[in-house]
């Protein structure tokens, strides 16, 4: 199944730090969060941008007892120009454009095998691309 970059929060990390670290580890990209335009700005205390959504995922595997993951989903954008033809550090990975993602229920892996795209991944990916475009228009 295709999934966006993500992982677990490490000791002494907040969810935002974990999201930025995981994006770097899994894509090789430095990213920044696309914050809502009405994010509170004060000198103290530090204000973290909220995730776009929080998901509760049921995890059922033969080698583990049933448990749940609480996913903080942040929309991000790269801080530098991205070379979409460069290899991605952790595979199999691929870049897709909005049109492809919007209509994709499965996408080919590097070996040509069709791999499903979960509905939440597809819809949130499209929303993330829309959020990035809207932020560009605000700047």
The predicted-structure confidence for 64-105, as pLDDT tens digits, reads as follows 999 999 999 999 999 999 988 887 777 678 888 999 999 989
Residue 110: the pLDDT is 80
For residues 135, 5, 49 and 138, what is the CA-based torsion angle, rounded to 10 degrees?
0
Residue 9: the pLDDT is 96
Rg (CA), the chain: 16
Per-residue confidence band for 47, with pLDDT thresholds at 50, 70 and 90: very high
* Arithmetic mean of pLDDT, 28-48: 93
- Provide the mean pLDDT of the chain: 92
Residue 2: the pLDDT is 87
| Structural domains in the chain, sorted by start | 15-138 (3.90.79.10)
Residue 138: the pLDDT is 82
Kindly tell me the number of DSSP H helices and DSSP E strands found in the chain. Answer: 3, 6
């Amino acid at each position: 199944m295709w999934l966006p970059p993500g992982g677990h929060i490490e000791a002494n990390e907040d969810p935002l730090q974990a999201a930025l670290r995981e994006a770097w580890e899994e894509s090789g990209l430095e990213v920044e969060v696309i914050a809502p335009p009405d994010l509170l700005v004060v000198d103290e205390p530090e204000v973290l941008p909220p995730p776009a959504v929080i998901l509760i995922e049921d995890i059922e595997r033969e080698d583990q007892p049933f448990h749940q993951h609480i996913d903080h989903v942040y929309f991000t954008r790269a801080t530098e120009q991205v070379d979409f033809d460069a290899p991605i550090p952790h595979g199999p990975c691929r870049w897709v454009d909005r049109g492809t993602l919007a209509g994709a229920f499965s996408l080919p892996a590097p070996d040509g095998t069709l791999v499903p795209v979960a509905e939440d991944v597809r819809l949130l990916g499209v929303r993330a691309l829309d959020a990035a475009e809207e932020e560009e228009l605000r700047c």
